[in-house]
Amino acid sequence: MTRLSVNINKIATLRNSRGGNNPDVVKAAVDVQRFGADGVTVHPRPDERHIRYDDVRQIKKIITTEFNIEGNCTEQKFVDLVLEVKPDQVTLVPDTLGQLTSDHGWDTIRNKDYLRDIISVFKKAGIRVSLFVDPVVNMVEGAALTGTDRIELYTESYSRQFMNRNQAIVPFVGAAKKAKELGLGLNAGHDLDLQNLKFFKQNISWLDEVSIGHALISDAIYLGLENAVQLYKRQLV
């Protein structure tokens, strides 16, 4: 079964745009689980422009499924938060300060020593680690040398080229097969939606988890949050 983890950053973006606590981010985390999500994802950034660090602490208290925290592990504040909260999974993303959204994976070869050291910190705390990587076989091979438990394939190029889906999926299948061969778990995320998710899953049937936020929350404006969660889960069958 491929698990659906719902990224609720956009709920926090809406709340922060007006001030106050409407919509309530913690309630959104409760509700997406109640509506069938297999997990909740958050991606706190140093400027807290969407998810705030205290949101992460409050969400941890109500999690009944899996909690995934994404972020830039070169920021000590992020590392400290993850070690304090102890989510089920931490996804390490090579964001730069002020970056609008994640737009590339780790160079696992150039950063091997650093990644191996920081991954060991999280694993010693009992936290599963996933590395955000591009669909490149040697980056997957490099990831395996860091001690990570999983990789998360950065799927923006697949989504952007979906009109030529048979070609767009090729590097992802190659990277996914290499991950399986090396004993790595496999996640995926970024710009996956109701149009392209099913084809991705059909071609990579052993996918462990997808993390979806922007598209699902956008669809929920028209479809309702419960309906959107259920529709996304159906794409993963």
Q: What is residue 157's three-state secondary structure?
A: helix
Model pLDDT for residues 38-93, shown as the tens digit of each residue: 999 999 998 899 999 999 999 999 999 999 999 999 999 999 999 999 999 999 99
Instruction: Check: CB of residue 39 under 8 Å from CB of residue 66.
Output: yes
Q: Indicate if 70 belongs to the active site.
A: yes
50, 66, 70, 209: the active-site residue: 70
Give, in degrees to the nearest 5, the angle at Cα 90 between 89 and 95: 155
What is the per-residue pLDDT across 116-150, written as a single tens digit (0 to 9) for each? 999 999 999 999 999 999 999 999 999 999 999 99
89 - beta bridge partners?
68, 128
Which residue out of 50, 66, 152, 190 is catalytically annotated?
Answer: 190
From the list 43, 50, 66, 209, the catalytic residue is: 43
* 214 carries an active-site annotation: no
Indicate if 48 belongs to the active site: no
Where exactly are the structural domains of the chain? 3-234
User: Are 149 and 128 spatial neighbours (Cβ–Cβ below 8 Å)?
Assistant: yes
3-234: CATH architecture: Alpha-Beta Barrel (3.20)
Exposure string for 114-129, b = 16+ CB within 10 A, e = fewer: ebeebbeebeeeebbb
pTM of structure: 0.95
